[in-house]
Amino acid sequence: MPIQIENILRGIATGSYTRQLGSQFGSVWQFDGLTEAEATPQEYAEFEASGNVHLGHGQEIEWLGCKWAVILAYRRRGLAQVSIYTDQNPLIIDATTNWLTLLLGKPNQSDSTVWVGRDGVITATQAGAFFQLDAGQFTPFQRLLAKIRSLF
């Protein structure tokens, strides 16, 4: 089953997720059907993944008019981050930035590639020949800090 990236991003923005497989965090590693192949030992090393993190390749998706490869990160066996990447293209970078800005407002002031939502963070990165979008849910501690920051 492919990840439903728009549902994940909207969930991060609002804190409310669609109750559909591939549309929310927390689904269980190797039981959710989202992972097509586990990452290689070299990929684990490149991501500097700790022992309680599992990495997998998800089914390729089509979003904003292009194909994106999918990497799924599971922390303590629950889906915690979705990373998608595609070839760098100024049109897709602009389309992605505009889509996220409409959903979440302007990016974080200190970094023009980071959007903070109610339930997580979305980061856009241009590296080499690729453009990558990382969407991660807050840990319980990060969620508490975000609530405290919102008071000021």
CA separation (Å) from 45 to 32, 48, 51, 131, 136?
24, 5, 11, 21, 20
pLDDT tens-digit map of 46-96: 888 888 899 999 999 999 999 999 999 999 889 999 999 999 999 999 999
Write out the residue range of the structural domain in which residue 44 sits: 5-150
Tally of domains in the chain: 1
- Global pTM? 0.89
Q: What counts of helices (H) and strands (E) characterise the chain?
A: 4, 7
Alpha helices in the chain (DSSP H): 5-14, 41-46, 90-104, 140-150
Amino acid at the residue 109: Q
pLDDT tens-digit map of 90-133: 999 999 999 999 999 988 766 678 998 999 999 999 988 999 99
Q: What is the CATH number of the domain that holds 60?
A: 3.40.1000
Q: Which two tokens stand for residue 74?
A: 């599971």
